[in-house]
Amino acid sequence: MEYAIEMRRALHKIPEPGFKEFKTQAFILEQIRTYPPDRVTYDTFETGVFVRVKGLTGNRTIGYRADIDGLPIEEATGLPYCSEHPGFMHACGHDMHASIALGLMKRIVELPVMDDVVFLFQPAEEGPGGAEPMIKSPLFEKYRPSEMYGLHVAPEYPVGTIASRPGVLFASAREVHITIYGQSGHAAFPHLTIDTVVAQAALIMQLQTIVSRSINPMNCSVITIGKVDAGIRENVIAGRAVLDGTMRALNGEDMEKLERRVRDIIRGIEASFGVKIDLQFGNRYYEVVNDRQIVDKFSSFVKMNANYIECDAAMTGEDFGFMLKEIPGMMFWLGVDNPTSGLHQPTLNPDESAISFVIDLLDHYFREYV
């Protein structure tokens, strides 16, 4: 579908951070406004968009969500339509997600299906999280679907492959931000200081014992400290240190246990090293839990038309979980055949033939099987 590929390349040029997707929203609205207002209605929410395409009967409403934000990554693909925004890139495939939604919308406007179809162009999936405020908006009740669908590109799978599973597909995820306060001073006189680097190192090692000693080994959880910062030069003991990371778990009970154990360990580090620690948890993304009946229906359809894989659950975080707590539905992986460049990498370059493949697939599914 040439239109959808054109949309993807235009969106790929303008990646924007969460809740600042102003150009992206304007571009999406430009497309929507070309359709007859008696067939297509819409409302904006922050930098997102709700869209309803009226069906032939409108007895039910099917929801389809596409996230639209980019990442603070410098693109290194060398594509002729690479990012025009320095330091930002669609390195998680959200340009693909949005263009698939636009292409599917065009198809359904031109050839109506029986049910109404609602498209949710959602901001800020990468953070701070756009799904929760979007579904808490009064507008969500106006557009509320009876079931929800969403996808995510998967570079490791070939084009023509769909992968999903009933139950938990993606983990619950939460950011953790820790600031350690001590007393700086000369490196020659450590006894006159409170060294936050030593406390930081001990804390990092202690945090890594939580999963191995506090979580059932049959369950999956992970704590990752992805960013550390301390000190101003080599001969000054740091009076402040910062750690940023994420916690992930496949069930809510384990996530709560991770949080408790982080608090416990921090109290111990404070007592052991004489530091003061400020702990802040970021927004929690709930697990993405696919409805079993909907997955069974969708997977049976896919098996007749494409390659379907029942995949393992992943520790990926996705705020689509907020929507699936409200509405039964499912998310699936879409193969885009770029195995040498994974998600969040500066060389990610999905195979665009996946766009037409999945638009045809979903159009057929919404038309005859939903």
CATH number (domain holding residue 97): 3.40.630.10
150 with 262, same domain: the answer is no
Which of 364, 354, 367 lies closest to 95, judged by CA?
Answer: 354
Domain end: 251, 284, 317, which one? 284
Cα 7 → chain centroid: 21
pLDDT in tens, 248-284: 999 999 999 999 999 999 999 999 999 999 999 998 9
Looking at 284, 311, 334, the residue that finishes a domain is: 284
Helical H segments across the chain, by residue range: 2-12, 22-32, 94-110, 131-136, 138-143, 196-214, 252-273, 292-305, 320-326, 353-368
User: How far is C-alpha 25 from the geometric centre of its chain's CA atoms?
Assistant: 18
pLDDT in tens, 197-250: 999 999 999 999 999 999 999 999 999 999 999 999 999 999 999 999 999 999
pTM above 0.85, yes or no: yes
* Structural domain ending residue among the three candidates 236, 252, 284: 284
Map residue 10 onto helix, strand or coil.
helix
Q: What CATH number does residue 199 fall under?
A: 3.30.70.360
Q: How much is the pLDDT for 370?
A: 76
Whether the CB-CB separation of 227 and 244 falls below 8 Å is answered with yes
Mean pLDDT of the chain: 98
List C-alpha distances in Å: 325 to 57, 102, 139, 262, 329: 27, 25, 17, 26, 9
At 35, is the secondary structure helix, strand, or coil? coil
Same domain, 223 and 89: no
What is the pLDDT confidence band of residue 150, given thresholds at 50, 70 and 90?
A: very high
Whether residues 11 and 137 share a domain: the answer is yes
CA distance 257 to 207: 13
Please indicate, yes or no, whether residues 6 and 52 belong to a single structural domain of this protein.
Answer: yes
- The C-alpha angle 302, 307, 312, rounded to 5 degrees, equals 95
Q: What gap in Å lies between CA 6 and CA 108, rounded to an integer?
A: 18
Contact between 262 and 256 (Cβ < 8 Å)? no
What is the distance of C-alpha 235 from the center of its chain? Answer: 41
Please name the residue that has the structure tokens 């370059």: 349
Digit-coded pLDDT (tens) for 112-144: 999 999 999 999 999 899 999 999 999 999 999
Q: Are residues 246 and 122 in the same domain?
A: no
Active site residues: 67, 126
The structural domain count of the chain equals 2
> Is the peptide bond preceding residue 217 cis, with omega within 30 degrees of 0?
no
Give yes or no for residue 146 having a pLDDT over 90.
Answer: yes
**What pLDDT band is residue 1 in, cutting at 50, 70 and 90?**
confident
Q: pLDDT (tens digit, 9 = 90+) per residue, 294-337?
A: 999 999 999 999 999 999 999 999 999 999 999 999 999 999 99
User: 148 to each of 78, 98, 216, 314, 323, how far by Cα in Å?
Assistant: 36, 16, 32, 20, 8
Encoded tokens for 201: 């190192």
249 and 298 share one domain = no
> Residues 43, 145: one domain?
yes
CB 62 within 8 A of CB 117: yes
pLDDT at position 7 over 80 = yes
Specify the amino acid at residue 298: F
Query: What is the sign, positive or negative, of the torsion defined by CA atoms of 117, 32, 74, 283?
Result: negative
Strands 329-335 and 161-164: antiparallel
Q: Which domain holds residue 346?
A: 2-166+291-368
Q: Is 111 exposed, middle or buried (0-12, 13-18, 19+ CB in 10 A)?
A: exposed
For residues 319 and 129, the answer to whether their CB atoms sit within 8 Å is: yes
pLDDT value at residue 139: 97
Q: Please give the Cα distance from 42 to 353 (Å, whole number).
A: 29
DSSP, residue by residue, 236-282: EE-SEEEEEEEEEESSHHHHHHHHHHHHHHHHHHHHHH--EEEEEEE
List CB contacts of 150: < 8 A, sequence separation 6 or more: 64, 65, 66, 320, 323, 329, 330, 331, 332
Q: In terms of domains, do 42 and 186 share one?
A: no
